[in-house]
Structure 1
Amino acid sequence: MGYPWQRKAAAPILFLWGSVAFCHRLFHFNFLEFIGCAFSVSVSFFFIYHVALFIYRNWVGVWLGHNADIKTHGPWAVITGCTSGIGRAYADSLAKRGLNLVLMSRSKEKLVELQSELREQFPSVQTKIIIVDFTKGPEIYGDIEKELQGLEIGMLVNNVGICYQFPEYFMDLPDRNQFCTDILNCNILSVTMMTSIVLPGMLERGKGVVINISSLSGIMDTPFMTLYAATKAFVDKFTQDLELEYREQGIIFQVLIPGYVVSNMSKVKTSNFFVPSAEDFVEKALSCLGLQSRTCAWLSHQILHACIRIGQFFRRDVAGEVMHIDIMISRKN
């Protein structure tokens, strides 16, 4: 159970004014010196607090075992978009931890292949496949709800999503109207409806985990991928507010905000410090579950996130100008 925000705010406020009053009494500051001291102490405290919190959430809390034990939330996990990339990595990681899996994707062949591989590697893990095309509309969710009835679902991973094939002006998108419908259904409606289906059972049991996959593109200027970035901004906001609504009822919400990860969507084939493999990214994300409700998980992505936040204090159109120049050059070539 969390403390009310007033109690959380009291400690740093008392520390700040206590430090300033002590310095004032010790050094006999005048008014301007007092203001300068107060500002310096507050900035220092802010910096130290966030560095300490960052270290705790990423390493110390994990080492101390303060992160979530996913097996205690329920025996079944539901993963959408699970046949490749981050979704596939979640299937492998959760099966390794002993969770039964509901695997959801539109390709029957890939689902059957994945199910066969998981059964071979983890014989004790039960698997269930649901063939579904998330670019379709609300009509698909009645059948999904029926398929999930009777399962004690402890975790939902909303991973499914589609992206642009290449950066493009909104009005120049190929088959624009159909693409708009498809991406909104897949990236927004799926997250909303799957959460709506699974969350009531979690609330009834007083425990559960919902993980939604957003993107760094959702928090920064991303012209020429406007609609994709907007859908990821929705996922980010949706998850943050659900976390505030249901944290006191035992439900863990986590939104992941990755940069590039090795996957079919990113079209990156080789991992490095800046672009992790899907497996490494998912292991890191699971390790901080319960410690970070909104995270980039991977260290280089967290650094990039911080740089983006700092950069947003300056000109907002810098990213747009850079991408505009880049796309114009590519068109000329």
Structure 2
Amino acid sequence: MDLMEIFFISLGAVVVLYHVVKLVLFSRILFPKLWFPLSKSFFTSMGEWAVVTGASEGIGRAYAFALAERGMNVVIMSRTRERLDLVAKEIGEATDQTVKVITTDFINENVFSEIEDQLKDLDIGILVNNVGVLPGVVPSRYLECENLDQMITKVINCNVKTMAKMCKIILPGMEKRCTTISLGKGLIVNISSGIATVPFPYYSLYAASKIFVERVSQGLQAEYKDKGIIIQAVAPFGVSTRMVSYQKTNIVTLSAENFVKSSLQYIRAGDRTNGSICHSILGWILQHIPLKIFYAECVLHSLQSYIKNQLKKSQPPKSSRSTAALENQTYL
């Protein structure tokens, strides 16, 4: 056997090994319970309390319910007192867990000192940074966004600043716990977006804000992993919430409850996950579409038209349309 044959056999073996490894890694997405098992006490071992921002509806409400069902007391935060009180009552009656309500509007500048005061005496083991603003339900060009100056401020305050500030408030307690307990505990889940997978026209501002969420999450995980603290960015695609006028659920667009149930199975899957099998496949497809094709005007217009049609089919109340972009559910 000459050197050329040895070279090609070795090259073939490397290629086969590469694809076997890729297949094994992909199987982890298909079978999260097998690859990333969680004990019954996993969540309660983190601490007594979980804090969920944007918890009055949608994904945030679903996380609050799911964590209470797993034995956590929960702090739910949003800007609408009526909805929060209703959610608190529902969680308390369904789970017998304690629910603390904090009313705040994360779009405003100076809300975090008051939040910190209300949280300072709690043993917080889990933080879910869910609150987020979508500039518009229908994707559009940057300059076509209504009240663009105000929307820039809202997106930065709500999607960027709030996540960083809440981590600043909660992380010190988790780090302190690591020095007093042999196995340091803490979990932070930061809700990103599947559209942040690539630079995404028509969602430019929103996608950029979610890239910030992902990079900070991944950096913090590298810093705090050795202390036993899990920090993960969760990047869903379609989830049926009021932010998107409750589009009908299907294999791609999941209900908030089903998405959260799925995403909790991936808590130990790394510093970033799409949270479900179908959304992981969508993310893989999006990464492998040539950007020149994806950025073609006809493709973007087709996406815009598709979303408009879906919204028409869902027939949301008029009041929901006018307030959807200001509420605290994360869809993309």
The two structures have a TM-score, normalised by structure 2, of 0.84
Range moving further from structure 2, 266-275 or 143-152: 266-275
Deviations 1:1-39 (A, max 9, x none): xxxxxxxxxxxxxxxxxxxxxxxxxxx2x3333332233
Q: Identify if the C-alpha distance between structure 1 residues 54 and 251 changes in structure 2 by more than 3 Å, giving closer, same or farther.
A: same
Match of 2:243 among 262, 265, 268: 265
Alpha carbons of 1:328 and 1:232: their partners in 2 closer, same or farther (altered >3 Å)?
closer
Q: 47-56 or 193-202, which moves further after superposition?
A: 47-56
Alignment CA distance shift 1:46-1:261 (3 Å)? same
Residues 105-127 of structure 1 deviation map (CA, whole Å, 9 limit, x = unaligned) = 0001101111111121122x111
**Could you tell me how far apart the structure 1 residues matched to 2:285 and 2:237 are?**
13
Aligned partners of 1:81 and 1:161 also within 8 Å: yes
The residue type equivalent to 2:26 in the other structure is F
Unaligned residue ranges in structure 1 (runs of 5+): 1-27
- 2:150 is equivalent to residue 174 of structure 1: no
Mapped pair 1:130 → 2:102 = yes
- Contact residue 222 and residue 320 of structure 1 kept, 8 A: no
CA shift at 1:238, angstroms? 1.2
Which position in structure 1 is the counterpart of 2:295?
319
Tell me the secondary structure at the aligned position of residue 265 of structure 1: helix
Cα distance in 1 for partners of 2:146, 2:77 equals: 27
Farther-moved stretch of structure 1 (291-300 vs 158-167): 291-300
Q: Paired residue for 1:106?
A: 79
Q: Which residue of 1 aligns with 2:50?
A: 77
* Rounded Cα–Cα distance in structure 2 between residues aligned with 1:194 and 1:44: 45
1:12-69 residue CA offsets vs partner (Å, 9 max, x unmatched): xxxxxxxxxxxxxxxx2x333333223322222122112213324552x624763361
Q: Which residue pairs with 2:61 in the alignment?
A: 88
Change in CA separation of 1:96 and 1:328 when aligned onto 2, cut-off 3 Å: closer
- Which position in structure 1 is the counterpart of 2:321? none
Q: Aligned in 2, Cα 1:320/1:258: closer, same or farther, shift over 3 Å?
A: farther
Task: Return the letter of the residue paired with 1:97.
Answer: R
Unaligned runs of 5+ in 2: 179-184, 307-332
Greater mean deviation of Cα atoms: 288-297 or 74-83: 288-297
Matched residue type, 2:297: E
1:220-249 Cα shifts (integer Å, max 9, x gaps) = 232111101110111111111111111111
What TM-score comes out, normalization by structure 1 length? 0.84
Q: Answer with 317-326 or 175-184: which moved more.
A: 317-326
**Cα distance between partner residues in 2 of 1:328 and 1:102:** 37
Which residues in structure 2 correspond to 1:133-172 (within 5 Å)? 133-137=105-109, 139-165=110-136, 166-172=138-144
C-alpha change, 1:244 and 1:320, in structure 2 (3 Å) is: farther
Match of 2:208 in 1: 230
Aligned partner of residue 209 in structure 1, secondary structure: strand
Classify 1:293/1:315 alpha carbon distance in 2 versus 1 (closer, same or farther; 3 Å). Answer: closer
Residue 73 (structure 1) shift: 0.6
Mapping for residues 211-290 of structure 1, pairs under 5 Å: 211-290=189-268
Moved more, 175-184 or 285-294: 285-294
Aligned with 2:172 (options 200, 207, 216): 200
SS of 2:128's partner is strand
Q: Is the Cα contact below 8 Å between 1:85 and 1:264 reproduced in 2?
A: yes
For structure 1, which segment, 39-48 or 300-309, has the greater mean C-alpha deviation from structure 2 after superposition? 39-48
Cα pair 1:58 1:288 within 8 Å, conserved: no
Root-mean-square deviation (CA, aligned residues, Å) is 2.0
Identity rate, percent: 33
User: How far does residue 218 in structure 1 lie from its aligned partner after superposition?
Assistant: 0.8
Is the contact made by 2:235 and 2:274 (CA closer than 8 Å) also made in structure 1?
Answer: yes
CA contact 1:214–1:255 (8 Å) conserved in 2: yes
Kept in 2, the 8 Å contact 1:221–1:316? The answer is: no
- For the residues of structure 1 that align with 2:82 and 2:73, how far apart are their CA atoms? 20
3-state SS of the aligned residue for 1:274? coil
Matched-pair contact (CA < 8 Å) for 2:29–2:280:
no
Give the equivalent residue in structure 1 for 2:16: 44
CA distance change for structure 1 residues 329 and 255 in 2, over 3 Å: closer, same or farther? closer
Which residue identity does 2:233 align to in structure 1?
A: V
Secondary structure, aligned partner of 2:244: coil
Higher relative contact order (CA 8 A, sep 6+): 2
